[in-house]
A and B are shown apart, each in its own frame.
Chain A
Amino acid sequence: MLLGRVIGTVVATEKYDGLTGVPMLFVQPLDRMGADAGKPVVCADSTKMAGRGELVLYEGGREAAMMLEPWFVPVDHSIMGIVDEVSRDGWRHENGDRS
């Protein structure tokens, strides 16, 4: 899994059946020290609770689809959890605090 920050939402009413009710969020990947790194990706949110600005854990590939219910859906990135804290020396989240 990797760390990311939710930077926006994506709404698509016309989409694959299994994905109804699954929020789609834009996530900015972070590097190991908490800085933005790489291009944002659209993630399905398996927690259905992540909000803008929140720090999340996300996974790619088949595991991304396996987080969802039903899992046999065309998804290649999913949010696995909402991070409370990253306890790593020097880790700094963009808005300064640790979460």
Chain B
Amino acid sequence: MILGKVTGVVVATIKHPFYVGRRMLMVDRLDEGGNETGAYLVAAAAVDAGVGQTVLVVDEGNSARQVVGDSSAPLRSLIVGVVDDVAID
């Protein structure tokens, strides 16, 4: 899983049926220090996360499909948690 920060919302009316009714959020990748890496992705949201929040993103299709319980979902990046704290020794 990767750490990211929600930085925007992407709206698309014409899209694959799986994504109908699902929020799609722009997530900037963060490194272990919480710094932006410059990379980003657009993820579907399994949990409700708002702009500015740090989130946990599953970035692999099989896991994401298991979370949503749909074995044919064309889904790879999925927000599965809102992070409260990161502590690294």
Interface residues on A, range: 20 to 34
Q: Out of A31, A49, A67, A86, which one reaches B10, CB within 8 Å?
A: A86
- Chain A residues near B15 (CB-CB < 8 A): 47, 57, 80-82
Q: Which residues of B contact A83 (CB under 8 A)?
A: 10-12
Flag A71-99 by CB within 8 Å of B: 1 or 0 each.
10000001011111111110100000000
Distance in angstroms from B43 CB to nearest chain A CB is 8
Binding site for B on A (CB under 8 A): 1-3, 31-32, 46-47, 49, 57, 59, 61-64, 66-67, 71, 78, 80-89, 91
Summarize B's interface: helix, strand, loop or mixed: strand
- Residues in B neighbouring A81, C-beta threshold 8 A: 12, 14-16, 19
Select one of A32, A64, A66, A87 contacting B72, CB under 8 A. Answer: A66
Determine the chain B residues whose CB is within 8 A of the CB of A87 once the complex forms.
8-11
Contacts A87-B11, A88-B8; A2 near B19 (Cβ below 8 A): no
